[in-house]
Amino acid sequence: MKKKDQIFAGIIFLIFIIILLRLWQLQILNTEKYKKLAEQNRIRIIKIPAPRGIIYDRNGIPLVENIPSFAALISPEYADKVDINLLSKILNIPPDELQNRLKTKIESIYMPIKIKDDLTFKEIAMLEARRSEIPGLIIQTELKRHYPFGPATAHLLGYLGKITEQQIKNNPQYQSLPSYFLVGQTGLEKLFDERLMGIPGEKIVEVDALGRELRLIKESPPVKGEDIYLTIDALLQEAAYKSFDTLTGAFVAIKPDTGELLALLSSPSFDPNKFVEGVTEAYWNELISNPKNPLLNRAVQGLYAPGSTFKIITALAGLEEGVITPDKVLVNCNGGISVGQWTFGCWKKEGHGPVNLRKALVESCDVYFYELGRILGIKKIHKYATLLGLGSSTGFNSDEKSGLVPDDEWKKKVKKSSWFLGDTFNTAIGQGFLKVTPLQMARVMAIVVNGGLKVTPYIIRGDEPRKENLNLNPKNLDIIKEALSGVVNEPSGTASGARSYIIKFGGKTGTVQVISKKLKEKVSYKNIEHHAWFIGFAPVENPEMAFSVIVEHGGSGGAVAAPVARNILEGYILKKRQLNVKN
């Protein structure tokens, strides 16, 4: 054989060996890989979200619902074959945005890519009519979250959103879910997500070359999430939202004997329904650029000086320590008190005259509490403030702020300064370094009217109440409670203008100085008005509710916060009567 023929034969033999090796690789080494690819051409695995559990109020009123919805999805292997312009016209999605959605990272070669939620019937009809031109199209029935009370329950319930990478990393439960699944991001939707989410279902179907379903191979139906019943009263929550209207602040109400949370409102709020399909960039920018910060839950995260509402604690400390009696005239208020070169004024410039404890609470005399603070000293004021739960979390949830109750040791450590008598004066009337949340102050009110039990606020109906007996003298608590009724129901009371003829309630007003009086006279910009407080209980006989109201930059507690409280209570009672709701 000629050398030329030998070379040719060798080449043929080499090619033959290469072909054999390739066949061996395809059929033996990579059997599973190409089997999966072959299966992909005819099998689709579709994850089916489970209906989320419904959240009900204490009377069985749904605070969140599931309503039917339709979504459009594309099988991943057809993502680069889709007619972008056609889909863009049908679904009214800009081509660039649609292209980005089709490039979404997918967790499995079998899982479809969602391109639009909440399809209209017109969109569904147009998609079905052009299905032959849209290979890989899947129209899936889903249940969409709906919040019937909208902004009224937004901070309480929270909202849903697509699973984030951090959530997948931190929670194994999310790792098997498609990225378009919605899970709780804030509020109770997040706190109880595992209970509400249920178990997703799965459908395995055989499809043709266009991705059309030919045969159902296997189906595992989803398991509905657990329904949750809250202690919240939807009618009270709604009455609070309507009463706040455009005001900025918070309202919290609890059952004083158990700690059941009846209402928790933060204002301004946002519409959680706009988050259901994925919040738009425009709405999100509107929220985060709003100087009033509507995403902040002021009820548990807002920190404020308590103002004169703190006088309840100073008064209780004085009674418990035996340094005052109800009838003892402690001061003759002439409008202020001087200490060295400093003058500490009373809110009433002309003074209150001779003042005992009851008059001091009803008319909120600052001078009386300056003197009581001087007698007690900061350590005893700190003792009773912390005893009633200030300066620490109430135990309601992990998002709440602890606040601050200062003393001489704190000031030395943090401010690198000594504690002065003026600091004690300011603390005794709820000013200075003190910081509290509306939830904490609602609990303080509950302790006063329930006989001295420190309750832990809770929100799931049926949970076991947690109470701690503070061993306070019931007579002292009754003295304060009776005086607080006078704050609203007597002509000289600081909240007398908020008196109601529908329900008799009591409480304590507070006005928190935002900037000094001298500076206030010189500036012209907004948001210099004082914060307005009112913490109260209703009805006066056998209280069923303890609550707190704060209105940021509202002005006077008696003129603003107390009327808001009255409007909430009256609106709630009238709505209950209208609907004949007993509990």
The burial class, CB within 10 Å (0-12 / 13-18 / 19+), for 552 is buried
The single-letter code of the amino acid at 389 is: G
pLDDT of residue 24: 61
pLDDT per residue as tens, the chain (583 positions) = 566 666 666 677 677 777 766 666 656 655 665 555 444 556 777 777 789 999 999 999 999 999 888 888 888 777 777 888 888 888 888 888 888 888 766 555 567 788 888 888 898 899 888 888 888 888 888 788 999 999 999 999 999 888 877 887 888 778 777 777 788 899 999 999 989 998 888 888 777 665 666 777 888 888 999 999 999 999 999 999 999 999 999 999 999 999 999 999 999 999 999 988 778 889 999 999 999 999 999 999 999 999 999 999 999 999 999 999 999 999 999 999 988 888 999 999 999 999 999 999 999 999 999 999 999 999 999 999 999 999 999 999 878 999 999 999 999 999 999 999 999 999 999 999 999 999 999 999 999 999 999 999 999 999 999 999 999 999 999 999 999 999 999 999 999 999 999 999 999 999 998 754 554 444 444 556 899 999 999 999 999 999 999 999 999 999 999 999 999 999 999 998 888 766 6
**What are the chain's domains?**
44-229 (3.90.1310.10), 234-579 (3.40.710.10)
CB 69 within 8 A of CB 121: no
Burial 372-409 (b: 16+ CB within 10 A, else e): bbebbbbebbbbbbebbbbbebbbbbeebbebbbbbbe
Burial 155-164 (b: 16+ CB within 10 A, else e): bbbbbbbebe
Q: What's the chain's Rg over C-alpha atoms?
A: 33
Ramachandran category for residue 430: left, alpha or beta (phi over 0 → left; psi -120 to 50 → alpha): left
* H helical segments located in 143-231: 154-157, 165-170, 187-191, 193-197
Q: Which residues contact 511 (CB under 8 A, 6 or more apart)?
A: 307, 308, 347, 530, 531, 532, 533, 555, 556, 557, 558
Q: How far apart are CA 82 and CA 135, in angstroms?
A: 7
Q: What are phi and psi of 261, to 5 degrees?
A: -80, 120
CB 116 within 8 A of CB 277: no
pLDDT of residue 524: 47
Q: Which of 405, 400, 330 is nearest to 369 (CA)?
A: 330
pLDDT of residue 519: 45
Q: How far apart are CA 311 and CA 361, in angstroms?
A: 7
pLDDT of residue 260: 98
Q: Which of 269, 191, 259 is nearest to 237 (CA)?
A: 269
* H or E stretch covering 466: none
Q: How far apart are CA 468 and CA 389, in angstroms?
A: 11
Choose the catalytic residue: 243, 266, 308, 500: 308
308 assigned to active site: yes
First-residue to last-residue Cα distance in the chain: 107
Q: How far apart are CA 205 and CA 474, in angstroms?
A: 70
Q: How far apart are CA 80 and CA 293, in angstroms?
A: 42
pLDDT of residue 29: 58
pLDDT of residue 523: 45
Other Cβ atoms within 10 Å of 254 Cβ, number: 30
Q: Which of 341, 428, 306 is nearest to 377 (CA)?
A: 428
Q: Which residues pair with 61 in a beta bridge?
A: none
pLDDT of residue 137: 85
* H or E stretch covering 213: strand 213-220
Rounded to two decimals, the pTM is 0.85
Both structure tokens of 264: 């928790």
Q: How far apart are CA 39 and CA 44, in angstroms?
A: 9
Q: Which of 240, 281, 337 is nearest to 565 (CA)?
A: 240
